[in-house]
Amino acid sequence: MRRILILFFISSVFAISGKAAADWDNRPENLNPEEKCFRDSITSFAQNFIGIPYKWGGATKDGFDCSGFVYFVFKQFGITVSRSSSAYEGIGEKVALEASLPGDIILFTGTDATKRKVGHLGIVLKNEAGELDFIHSSSSKKHFGVTITRYYSSGYVKRFLRVINVIS
């Protein structure tokens, strides 16, 4: 009886919060060791490029734009993603922000948050204890080039669109 009550409570929480039950499967504690290792490899590799300058249209170590950076990183691991930020509109498996994992792709509008189309993206590095960090190539004068941004204390919150999984 106790298990039934617990299951009822958990399913009620998901229903109230608007999360699908499938989101629970994306939690870090449910990852198999191979996928966790693969995701860690992607995020570790991405961090090797911190400080590489922003370059519009760039997809090499000489300079990256946001989609060029994501394209370059995932290509090294045999995952083909789009070279254009706008093409991320219909790819990947949508993941709840709270359930995002290192290696997921986080999508934002461009600088005009009222235009709800993908215009910027990055790779989730960490999502624990209420903190989410992502790595991206920014054209901002304040954080020019490949940098890590703490999501909840940034201006990206108002530009957030969704998180996608292209790994599994």
The pLDDT tens digits for 125-162 are 999 998 999 999 999 888 889 999 999 999 999 999 99
Provide the 3-class DSSP secondary structure of residue 50.
coil
Write down the H helix ranges in 18-161: 21-25, 33-47, 66-75
Has 66 been annotated as catalytic?
yes
Q: Which of 105, 136, 156, 164 is catalytic?
A: 136
Q: For the segment 41-81, what is each residue's pLDDT rounded down to a tens digit?
A: 999 999 999 999 999 999 999 999 999 999 999 999 999 99
For 91-105, the pLDDT digits (tens) are 999 999 999 999 999
Q: What is the pLDDT of residue 13?
A: 33
* Paired strand residues for 163: 95, 106
Give which of 54, 21, 42 is closest to 124, Cα–Cα.
42
Q: Give 13 or 40, the one with higher predicted confidence.
A: 40
Cβ(137)–Cβ(52) under 8 Å? yes
Active site (annotated) includes residue 37: no
Closest to 53 in 3D by CA, of 123, 140, 150, 118? 140
Tell me the whole-structure pTM to 2 decimals. 0.82
Out of 58, 85, 119, 120, the active site residue is: 120
Selection from 108, 121, 134, 119 nearest residue 50 by Cα:
134
3-state secondary structure of 84: coil
Contacts by residues 150-155 (CB-CB < 8 Å, ≥ 24 positions apart): 151/106
104 and 123 Cβ atoms separated by less than 8 Å:
yes
Which has more confidence, 10 or 155? 155
Tell me how far the alpha carbon of residue 64 is from its chain's centroid: 17
Percent of the chain with pLDDT over 90: 76
In the residue annotation, 143 being an active-site residue is answered as no
Out of 42, 46, 52, 66, pick the active-site residue.
66
